[in-house]
Amino acid sequence: MGFAIFFICHFYLAIFMQTAFYHRYASHQHFTMNKFWERVFFVASWLIHGVGYLSPSAYAVMHKLHHAFADKERDPHPSSNSNSMYDMYIDTKNSYINILKKRIPVEDHFYNNVPTWAAFDKMATSKYSRLFWLVVYVAFYWFFAPNIFWWLLLPFHLLIAPITGVAINWFAHQPDGATSYTHFQQNNRSTNVLRFDFIFMGEAYHNNHHANPRSANLGYKWYEVDIGYLLIYGLSIVGIAKLKKVRIRAGEEELVPVLD
């Protein structure tokens, strides 16, 4: 029981770090932080994501390209190019590495406002760091996994951030998905995945987000509670984050859908 609770807590911590720091802070600047707290988030991402740590700056550039070219040729992970989530994972991994190693040309403006800490990223994305965390995770399972079946979780546990990142981008660009629905007609395949996103902390409201990428709150209808946004709002109350936009409501100009 204790192991399951630990796994669930770790899963949600990883999701929070991804949605708050990588997506909303690094990619969209929905909120600002001072340098001290930005670096705390860099280190916390490494501690929480471990083997699966991604460079926030490379992630942000990749994500900005996704918004600029969603489901088009320059989209770093177009869902229409992939036959399965695994295909998309490989596609996304290659795009991420190409951006990280600067192997593909990317216009300068995609790097605007992207948080960087080159020395830390070099350490955290090195094979030594990944090996260190691999040993830590295996040791943890060795000592604490209640039985052999829990080891089946290990590959997912090692790569929570990259796998859940691909999962959301996969499901949120499948307009024919079982639970898919949209509020905004757009020139991309983005869709909302869940009416109440209890899994991805608001990231499932992806059609809303493509329509209003500047909105810190990814929910649009009353039932689309954005847990990630609420937690960032909490950080703003205690003075860690400064939200740029608290809420965009129906009828405001930003919500005009992008029509085909």
Binding residues vs Zn ion (CB under 5 A): 190
**Least distance in Å: CB of 173 to Zn ion?**
6
**Least distance in Å: CB of 66 to Zn ion?**
6
CB 186, CB 257: distance < 8 Å: yes
Which one, 34 or 187, has the nearer CB to Zn ion?
Answer: 187
Which one, 18 or 190, has the nearer CB to Zn ion?
Answer: 190
What is the rounded distance in angstroms from the CA atom of residue 53 to the CA atom of residue 44? 10
Shortest Cβ contact with Zn ion: which residue?
190
Which one, 174 or 190, has the nearer CB to Zn ion?
Answer: 190
**Least distance in Å: CB of 258 to Zn ion?**
13
Q: Is 205 helix (H, G, I), strand (E, B) or coil?
A: strand
**Least distance in Å: CB of 93 to Zn ion?**
17
**Least distance in Å: CB of 79 to Zn ion?**
8
255: nearest Cα among 197, 194, 211: 211
CB 24, CB 227: distance < 8 Å: no
Q: Where are the alpha helices (DSSP H) in the chain?
A: 2-16, 35-49, 56-68, 85-100, 118-124, 127-144, 154-158, 160-171, 206-211, 227-237
What is the rounded distance in angstroms from the CA atom of residue 192 to the CA atom of residue 195? 8
Which one, 28 or 157, has the nearer CB to Zn ion?
Answer: 28
Which one, 55 or 190, has the nearer CB to Zn ion?
Answer: 190
